[in-house]
Amino acid sequence: MTSTTVTGRRSAGDRGSAPGGLPLTRVSGVGLGVAMLWFSLLVLIPLAAVAVTASEGGWSQFWRTVTQEQTAAAIELTVGTAFLVTLVNIVMGTAIAWVLVRDRFTGKRVLEILIDIPFALPTIVAGLVLLSLYGPKSPLGVNIANTRTAVFLAFLFVTLPFVVRTVQPVLAELDREAEEAAASLGARRFTIFRRIILPGLTPAIAAGAALSFARGVSEYGSLVLLSGNLPMHTEVASVRILSSIENDNPENAAAVAVVLLAISFVVIVAVDVLQRRMVRRG
Amino acid sequence: MSIEITNVNKRFGDFVALDDVSVSIPTGQLTALLGPSGGGKSTLLRIIGGLEQADTGRVVIEGVDATGLPPQKRNVGFVFQHYAAFKHLSVRRNVAFGLEIRKRPKAEIRSRVDELLALVHLEQFAERLPSQLSGGQRQRMALARALAIEPTVLLLDEPFGALDAKVRRELRDWLRRLHDEVHVSTVFVTHDQEEALEVADEIVVINEGRIEQIGSPDDLYDRPANDFVMSFLGPVTQLGDRLVRPHDLQLHSGDPAAGDISGQIARINRIGFEIRVDVATTGEPSQAVVVTLTRNEFRALGLDVGAAVNIRLAPESHTTLAPPAQPTPADTAKSLASSH
């Protein structure tokens, strides 16, 4: 996913740098205009507005807001948990995709559909499900309400499909004969996986990981019931934003939002760079 | 014998891919497994390479029982129709792969890979990715990669199947020359009889999971064991109840001798240096017999469409019994054409 946007960006850049460039036809000119307007209205202008709100009090005000004890703790928890969850997803998502593509078993079709439930389910419903299963009245006797584990679990729940769904189609398209060739050249299964299969999957895994991380950072609904939103303990950034708004402090909310935005942006760029290197190296 | 295959059976569900196949493949030669698609030849090759397990039977490679060995331990080089390139690795790294797995010293790998790249004429492409090569170049890379491990046998599965006709022909000649240089026992699968006849020392004809005949290209072409081999390896036409090669038939316009069959020229078709004459035999039922001659032979006869001719079989020509008549659409079209 990220790789497509990157190629698009690069070719657009090439075109711009070519002497004279390519003249736009009327249709493509209108198309570009509409696309830019749409993108601006929905994304760029709101983002800019948030940034402007956050910067109203100046840099020192912004810095004071985000380093304020409770806010910093919320950001740290959110980012840290999203990072851990992403690591788990890289392993588990790839494993699940592997099972779905390479193995044949009864109930495979059902599992295929179930994987998407976290996509389709309203997150507050997910939160309710988690609360009823792992809350104070847990039928399993597992009570993780009001703990950081609850945040971790909620993140895991909603981000489960990302790596699976980005890796699955790529894995299905991989050249099985390349693996057979590697086997006949003497490579054992693990070596084949590491040196032949994994490089082919890396871009997809990276794309899934980036999406999973971004989703984790922004999560609200699924954890708000189970985590208890205890300041300095289980309060995440999105909850912190909401409480800032409720306390009539939009600058504070905007500042946290800008931090989250910046983190997401850095992660997406970093993953992209990393994935290019990995693909090259093998 | 480099490869001994004994009583190998293989099924995929209800489909019988190999039906009690036994064959010995000689050392140091180029052997073709020839047959129509779905006949079991690729399955046999994959069983030799360990990529597929036989249901029953034994595979012995250079005296070692390989029946239960995984592909990693067979030391065979395998080349696939669609190259099976390691797309993320440069040509050099592709070729080096087997040596890296064997943990050879870096310097040795480097010099060996250089040698192989020179052998397959890819020296100047060493640092490219496979996607930057043409199909023919990719297949040469795959061949170098397979040869790098100094395999006991080299197995090629329709190696030129994905290439266009011209490149295919070039690579075929090149493979023959390469084999004369390298001398590794080679088995290649093809459905192209011309390819097999041109390149192979020995041909194994496989059809419907069974071996029809094993022999040199000359044996198979001149002395086919049955009508399948006869018609698979070259052009055939039916004369009476025998199948015969059209170029083993002669035409003359004099009085019919004993054994000659009389007829009338229905159609004359020139294909390059060759003249194809369709003769409708007299008598019931009339047969459409194809006779091919060179242009000079035909000119000397001075015949035209409608002329009465006699067909005779050239001395020492081989014929096989024709299969029981099953009129195909082509036959019907031919008899229609000849009746006009």
pLDDT, tens only, A11-30: 443 444 445 567 778 888 89
Confidence of residue A229 (pLDDT cuts 50, 70, 90): confident
- What is the nearest CA distance from B239 to chain A, expressed in angstroms? 46
User: Which amino acid, one-letter code, is at B304?
Assistant: D
Strand, helix or coil for residue B170: helix
Residue of B nearest to A202 (CA): B88
Of the candidate ranges A157-166, B215-224, B298-307, the one whose mean pLDDT is the lowest:
B298-307
Instruction: Give the separation between CA B25 and CA A50, rounded to whole angstroms.
Output: 76
Chain A nearest-CA residue for B129: A280
Pick the CATH number of A58-281 from 3.40.30.10, 3.30.1010.10, 1.10.3720.10, 3.30.70.890: 1.10.3720.10
- CB pairs A-B closer than 8 Å: 69
Name the band, by pLDDT with cuts 50, 70 and 90, for residue B156: very high
Q: Quick check: B129 pLDDT over 60?
A: yes
The answer, as to whether pTM is greater than 0.90, is: no
Which parts of chain B fold into alpha helices (H)? Answer: 41-49, 91-101, 106-119, 135-148, 165-182, 193-199, 217-222, 227-233, 295-301, 329-339
Side-chain-side CA neighbours of residue A30 (13 Å): 2
Of these ranges, B21-25, B324-328, B336-340, the one predicted with the greatest mean pLDDT is B21-25
Cβ(B99)–Cβ(B148) under 8 Å?
Answer: yes
Residue numbers in B near A104 (CB within 8 A): none
**Cβ pair B98:A175 closer than 8 A:** no
Nearest to A178 among B72, B84, B148 (CB): B84
* pLDDT at site A4: 39
Please check the confidence at residue B69 and state whether its pLDDT lies above 80: yes
Q: What is the mean pLDDT of residues A69-82?
A: 93
Instruction: Tell me which chain B residue has its CA closest to the CA of residue A178.
Output: B84
What distance separates the 2 farthest-apart alpha carbons in chain B? 79
CA distances from B210 to A122, B9, B156, B188, B228 (A): 60, 10, 20, 17, 12
Question: Chain-wide mean pLDDT for chain A?
Answer: 86
Which residues does B75 contact at the CB level (< 8 Å), separation at least 6?
A186, B149, B150, B151, B152
* Residues making up chain B, counted from first to last: 340
- Which of A181, A195, A280 minimises the CB distance to B84? A181
A60-69, A144-153, B186-195, B317-326 — which is least confidently predicted?
B317-326
Contact A199 B77 (CB under 8 A): no
What whole-number percentage of chain A has pLDDT above 90?
43
Give the burial class of A10: count Cβ atoms within 10 A of its Cβ; 0-12 exposed, 13-18 middle, 19 or more buried.
exposed
pLDDT at A3 over 80: no
Tell me the shortest Cα–Cα distance from A271 to chain B, in angstroms.
18
Tell me: the pLDDT tens digits for B136-148? 999 999 999 999 9
| Mean pLDDT computed over B192-199 | 92
A183–B86 C-beta distance less than 8 A: no
| pLDDT value at B311 more than 80 | yes
Does B333 score more than 70 pLDDT?
Answer: no
ipTM of the shown complex: 0.84
DSSP secondary structure string for all residues of B243-288: EE-GGGEEEE-SPPPTT-EEEEEEEEEEETTEEEEEEEESSSS--E
8 A C-beta contact, residue A270 and residue A255: no
Judge whether B313 is closer than 8 Å to chain A, CB to CB: no
Which residues of chain A are within 8 Å of residue B71 when distances are taken between CB atoms?
180, 183-184
Nearest alpha-carbon partner for A224 in A212, A215, A210, A237: A237
CA of A73 vs chain B CAs: smallest distance (Å) = 42
Per-residue model confidence (pLDDT) at position B326: 57
Please tell me the distance from the alpha carbon of residue B200 to that of residue B30, in angstroms, as a whole number.
5
Q: What is the mean pLDDT of residues B75-91?
A: 94
Going by C-beta distance under 8 Å and a sequence separation of 6 or more, which residues neighbour residue A76?
none
In the predicted structure, residue B187 carries a pLDDT above the cut 70: yes
Q: Which residue of B has its CA nearest to A201?
A: B88
The domain locations on chain A are: 26-55, 58-281
